Amino acid sequence: ILVIEDEELVRNVLAFRLKKDGYEVVLAKDGEEAMKELATQNFNLVLVDIMLPYVGGLELTTHIKSTPKTKDTPVIVLSANGLEQVILDAFALGATDFIVKPFNLAELSIRVKRTIR
């Protein structure tokens, strides 16, 4: 699982929970790091925050879904902005799911498991 999150605390909490659930996790703190990881590795899932430096989460979602190598990779978008239009935009760009921050770790685990299945 590739986790793209600029807030270190949130990134570390996500990594801890996902590793506890048995997943291998790669972390990226911004869109540029994420683009490098996506170019060199294959992922079963991408968790991406909307608000990122350099390349935003919605731009990354568009990139993932428009690139032949990654177009079938599920993307779960994370955002503190739960406005209906933001959620609709994420789904229109190809997001598989959308989780509003602050998130419940048990719910996150269930959504990740369901998405990867």
Provide the edge-to-edge strand list for the sheet that holds 46-49.
26-28, 2-4, 46-49, 75-79, 97-100
Residue 11: predicted pLDDT: 96
Ordered per-residue pLDDT tens for the chain, 117 residues = 999 999 999 999 999 999 999 999 999 999 999 999 999 999 999 999 999 988 999 999 999 999 999 999 999 999 999 889 999 999 999 999 999 999 999 999 999 999 998
Tell which residue, 81, 20, 74, has the closest CA to residue 51. 81
Tokens read off for 64: 């993932």
- For 53-77, give one letter per residue: b (16+ CB within 10 A) or e: eebbbbbbbbbbbeeeebeebbbbb
Kindly tell me the sign of the dihedral angle through the C-alpha atoms of 7, 12, 18, 19: positive
Residue 54: predicted pLDDT: 87
